[in-house]
Amino acid sequence: MSSSLKNLSDFSHLDVQNASGSRFAIVVAQWNAAITGALLSGAVDKLLAHGVAESDIEVIQVPGSYELISGADIAFRNKSFDAVICLGCVIQGETRHFDFICNAVADGIANVGLKYNKPVIFGVLTTDNEQQALDRAGGKHGNKGEEAAVTAIQMSHIARRF
Ligand code: DLZ
Per the structure, the count of domains in the chain is 1
Lowest mean pLDDT among 40-49, 81-90, 124-133, 153-162: 153-162
Q: How far is the CA of 94 from the centre of ligand 1 (A)?
A: 13
Q: How far is CA 4 from CA 1, 7, 158, in A?
A: 8, 7, 16
Task: Tell me if 20 is assigned to some domain.
Answer: no
Catalytic residues: 97
Q: Ligand 1 within 6 A of 79 CB? A: no
Q: For residues 19 and 153, is the Cβ–Cβ distance under 8 A?
A: yes
CA 106/CA 8 separation, integer angstroms: 29
Q: Please check whether residue 2 lies inside any domain of the structure.
A: no
- CA atoms of 118 and 120, how far apart (whole Å): 6
CB 145 within 8 A of CB 42: yes
Is 135 within a domain? yes
**Residue 99 CA: distances (Å) to CA of 63, 91, 122, 147:** 18, 10, 16, 23
Residue 7 lies in a domain: no
Give the domain extent around 113.
30-161
> Is residue 10 included in any domain, yes or no?
no
**Any atom of ligand 1 within 6 Å of the Cβ of 31:** yes
**From the CB of 66, is ligand 1 less than 6 Å away?**
yes
* Phi, psi torsion values for 89, nearest 5 degrees: -145, 115
CA of 27 from ligand 1 middle (Å) equals 15
Closest-CA residue, ligand 1 atom 12, reads 64
Q: Is residue 79 part of a domain?
A: yes
**Domain assignment present for 24:** no
Q: For residue 31, how far is its CA from the centre of ligand 1 (angstroms)?
A: 6
The string of pLDDT tens digits covering residues 63-90 is 999 999 999 999 999 989 999 999 999 9
- The model's pTM is 0.95
The string of pLDDT tens digits covering residues 100-118 is 999 999 999 999 999 999 9
Question: Do 123 and 88 touch, CB atoms closer than 8 A?
Answer: yes
Alpha-carbon span 142 to 152, nearest angstrom: 17
CB distance 149 to ligand 1 below 6 Å: no
Is 147 part of a structural domain of the chain?
A: yes
> Whose CA is closest to 87, among 3, 22, 30, 132?
30
CATH, residue 132: 3.40.50.960
Atom 6 of ligand 1, residue of closest alpha carbon: 90
Residue 2: band (very low, low, confident or very high) from pLDDT cuts 50, 70, 90: low
**Any known ligand binding at 66?**
yes
